[in-house]
Amino acid sequence: MARVVAEVKNLHTYFHTEEGVVKSVNGVSFRVHEGETVAIVGESGCGKSVTALSIMGLIDEPAGQIVSGEIQFDNLNLVQAGRKELERIRGKDIAMIFQEPMSALNPVLSIGEQVSEALIEHLHLSKKAALIKSEELITQVGIPRAKEMMKSYPHELSGGMLQRIVIAIAVSCNPKLLIADEPTTALDVTTQAQILDLLLEMKTKRDMSMLLITHDLGVVAEMADYVVVMYGGKVIEQAPVIFLFQNPKHPYTKSLLNARPVLGQRKKRLHAIPGQVPNPLELGEACYFVDRCEHSLDICRQAQPALKAHSSGHYAACWLYEEVTADVRSTHSG
């Protein structure tokens, strides 16, 4: 069995607003094993990115706060780690690719300065050695004329090239865990495919684990080993990718899969999930998906279902499966 690189245990991350408390992450648990790609899937606002930012220690305090839970990484609970410990780990052992490459880079610093920064900070290279290494990294991510590119500024590059630079920065210190938050957002289809191929190549060559955040199930099918489906800040299903696609359990997961466009069925109207994502300020004790579910029961409006085991590594939180009795709070084990 592969070693566990990172484990999130019953994580709660809340934001305090004038209207009330938003429970963006509300009891989330999962594991990432060595060499594994775990995908977190769900609609916008389900808590995917906040989960990633919690792992990175980038929640904007005091409005945002990790209220409870654990994030275990290398025998260290990151929730309790001090600022210096987080700064030592962040960018070196855990790295992140953010959604928007244009906003992820500093507009007033050259590409060379930004790629070399982590090398100087974490690997303690000299400025000259860091610039040489930066040139190598830029070449490795598929950008030609790397020496000239290092003198450029972010506004001079296309979206696809910027994303490659962000990937170069993220993998520069050979992290154990790479978090990719919607890495192909706002890119054209051809560039998306190239970026995904590059991520797979970098992961394999550097023997990294990856936490992939996306709403694109096509990306999940291509990239992931294990899938965590989130809704309303909770995990409502998680399974090995093959199990999830072949035998989804939760009605929300089934709806997501049915909403995918299928090659050769262009004349068929795409399935749409009825209703709207619930207001995070108005979440009660009922199942969060109840108002959009075609199979809801009376009990769905009375209490939240717990995650229950259906098979090895496959869990779902739904009252439709009363015959399943093995309650679980955590995670896949294999």
Please state, for a pLDDT cut of 70, what percent of the chain lies above it. Answer: 94
Q: Would 182 be classed as within a structural domain? A: no
The contacts found for 285-291 with CB under 8 angstroms, 24 or more apart, are: 287/318, 287/319, 288/231, 288/232, 288/234, 289/231, 289/232, 289/236, 289/250, 289/251, 289/252
Query: Residue 298: in which H helix or E strand, if any?
Result: none
Q: Would 167 be classed as within a structural domain? A: no
- DSSP label at 90? B
| CATH code for position 24 | 3.40.50.300
> What digits encode the pLDDT tens for the residues 96-131?
998 887 888 999 999 999 999 999 999 999 999 999
| Cis preceding-peptide flag for 62 (omega within 30 of 0) | yes
Q: Would 275 be classed as within a structural domain? A: yes
pTM for this prediction: 0.90
> What digits encode the pLDDT tens for the residues 18-48?
999 999 999 999 999 999 999 999 988 899 9
Tell me what pLDDT residue 259 has.
82
**How many helices (H) and strands (E) would you count in the chain?**
11, 12
What domain range includes position 256?
Answer: 4-82+230-316
Cα radius of gyration rounded to whole Å, the chain: 21
Give CA–CA dist 9/32, Å, rounded. 12
> What digits encode the pLDDT tens for the residues 222-235?
999 999 999 999 99
Query: Residue 253: in which H helix or E strand, if any?
Result: helix 251-258
- Structure tokens that stand for 312 in this block: 């090895």
Question: What is the 3-class SS of 157-189, one letter each residue?
Answer: CCHHHHHHHHHHHHHCCCCCEEEEECCCCCCCH
Q: Would 209 be classed as within a structural domain? A: no
Give the count of domains, the chain: 1
- Asked whether residue 202 carries a pLDDT value surpassing 50, the answer given is yes
Q: Would 251 be classed as within a structural domain? A: yes
- Asked whether residue 141 carries a pLDDT value surpassing 90, the answer given is yes
- Asked whether residue 181 carries a pLDDT value surpassing 70, the answer given is yes
Q: Would 23 be classed as within a structural domain? A: yes
